[in-house]
Amino acid sequence: MSSLTGPLAPTGTESPKVPGFKVAYLVNQYPHVTHSFIRREIVALESAGIAVERFTIRRPPVNLVDAADLAELSRTRVVLGPGAPARLAFAVIAAACAAPAAFWAALRGAIRLGRRSERGVLRHLVYLAEACVLRDWLRRAPDIRHLHAHFGTNSAAVAMLVRLLGGPRYSFTIHGPEEYDHPGELSLREKIDHAAAVVGVSDFGRSQIYRWIPYEQWPKVNVVHCGVDAAFLAAGPQPIADNRRLVCVGRLAPQKGQLLILEALAALAAEGVPFEMVLAGDGPMRAVVERRIRELGLGASVRITGWVSNDVVRSELLGARAILMPSFAEGLPVALMEALALGRPAITTYVAGIPELVKDRVNGWLIPAGALEPLVAAIKEALATPAATLTEMGRAGAAAVAERHDVNREATRLVKMFLAAQS
pTM of this structure: 0.89
- Give the containing element (helix H, strand E) for 291: helix 286-295
C-alpha Rg value of the chain to the nearest Å? 22
- pLDDT tens string, the chain, 423 residues long: the values are 233 334 343 334 454 556 579 999 999 999 988 888 999 999 999 999 999 999 999 998 777 878 888 899 999 999 999 999 999 999 999 999 999 999 999 999 999 999 999 999 999 999 999 999 999 999 999 899 999 999 999 999 999 999 999 999 999 999 999 999 999 999 999 999 999 999 999 999 999 999 999 999 999 999 999 998 777 788 778 899 889 999 999 999 999 999 999 999 999 999 999 999 999 999 999 999 999 999 999 999 999 999 888 889 999 999 999 999 999 999 999 999 999 999 999 999 999 999 999 999 999 999 999 999 999 999 999 999 999 999 999 999 999 999 999 999 999 999 999 999 988
Q: Which DSSP string corresponds to 221-268?
A: EEE-PPPBPHHHHHH-PPPPPSS-EEEEES---GGGTHHHHHHHHHHH
Q: Can you name the CATH fold of 230-404?
A: Rossmann fold (3.40.50)
Which own/partner pairs from 232-236 qualify as long-range (CB within 8 Å, at least 24 positions apart)?
232/314, 232/337, 232/338, 232/341, 232/342, 233/341, 233/401, 233/402, 233/406, 235/342, 236/343, 236/398
Which residues have CB under 8 Å from 95's CB, separation 6+? 102, 103, 106, 132, 135, 136, 165
The string of pLDDT tens digits covering residues 391-416 is 999 999 999 999 999 999 999 999 99
Sign of CA dihedral 148, 151, 155, 157: positive
Q: Can you name the CATH fold of 22-227+406-420?
A: Rossmann fold (3.40.50)
Beta strands across the sheet bearing 22-29: 76-78, 51-58, 22-29, 144-150, 170-174, 197-200, 221-223
Amino acid at 355: P
The string of pLDDT tens digits covering residues 233-249 is 887 788 998 899 999 99
3-state secondary structure of 357: coil
User: In the chain, where are the structural domains located?
Assistant: 22-227+406-420, 230-404
Contact (Cβ atoms closer than 8 angstroms) between residue 410 and residue 349:
no
3-state secondary structure of 170: strand
Contact (Cβ atoms closer than 8 angstroms) between residue 352 and residue 199:
no
User: Do 22-227+406-420 and 230-404 agree at the fold level?
Assistant: yes
